Amino acid sequence: MPSLKQYRLRIRSVQSTQKITKAMKMVAAAKLRRAQEAATAARPYATAMDRMMASLAGAMQGKAGAPRLLAGTGADRVHLLIVATADRGLCGGFNSSIVREARRAIRELQADGKTVKILCVGRKSRDQLRRDYSSLIIDTITDLGRPSVTFADATKVASRVVELFDAGEFDVATLFYNRFRSAISQIVTRQQIIPPAVPEQTAPAGAAPYEFEPDEETILKDLLPRNLTVQVYRALLENSASFFGAQMTAMDNATRNAGDMIKKLTLFMNRQRQAGITKELIEIISGAQAV
């Protein structure tokens, strides 16, 4: 049985851990508000842009001369999975949930005879996927969002994706990330970004066609890479808010658990001390009676 000194040392150790987790919770809570506001503000523009690109992709299906970023390569053989996680842990199941969905997609694609390549955005996706799929990882992009997510971070990722696409490395690109719902709830999202996923009905009956000014080629040449960057930017913002929400929740739970452990250790220490005092009293009384 541990001595009183050992109990005191363990209590101090847990108290130190509790101070750290409490501080991390407060920092995450402060950063969560700004990250949530940024993610919420980016949603309408990214959603409208995605719908417009999907509508254009549906309208240009089968037409000659359609931009490759919009219409794709015409094949469905090689898939690039862009798995966006955080560089750090201590955030509950935030990273694991994204990687789990990516693993599911890898198994489905390989079962269909497709070739899979992985672009890891964040250290945690690389660390978790390389144990089983190291041969599929073609590149890793880290150190994004420090101190906060910027459009330049999204441009860095999108430029790498376009570079791989222009080199003929893949036919379809899919982005994996966590969409923020609340501090205790995130939704794992799988979004096809190259070519944009075409809905069953791209426009209502009788809708007017798009008119381009100055011309279709000039506009789409600038608009398509921008849309790709916007979708990546939205994913990074959603991930940032989800990460801080998950971290705040995880650190709150850790702080509570540390408090429960301190109470239990204090109880055990008091029982040990009481048993020692009782034993000493019994020895004194027994000695007095013997005299």
Active site residues: 91
Neighbours of 223 (CB within 10 A): 19
228 burial class (0-12, 13-18, 19+ CB within 10 angstroms)? buried
Rounded CA-CA distance 241/86 in Å is 11
The first and second tokens of residue 173, run together, are 């690109």
Rounded CA-CA distance 289/281 in Å is 12
The first and second tokens of residue 41, run together, are 């503000």
- 175's enclosing H/E stretch is strand 172-182
Rounded CA-CA distance 106/80 in Å is 10
Rounded CA-CA distance 25/30 in Å is 9
Rounded CA-CA distance 189/210 in Å is 29
The first and second tokens of residue 174, run together, are 């899919």
- Give yes or no for a contact between 125 and 142, defined as CB atoms under 8 angstroms apart: no
Query: Please, what is the Cα angle at 164 between 159 and 170, to 5 degrees?
Result: 135
Length of the chain: 291
Rounded CA-CA distance 176/164 in Å is 18
Neighbours of 237 (CB within 10 A): 29
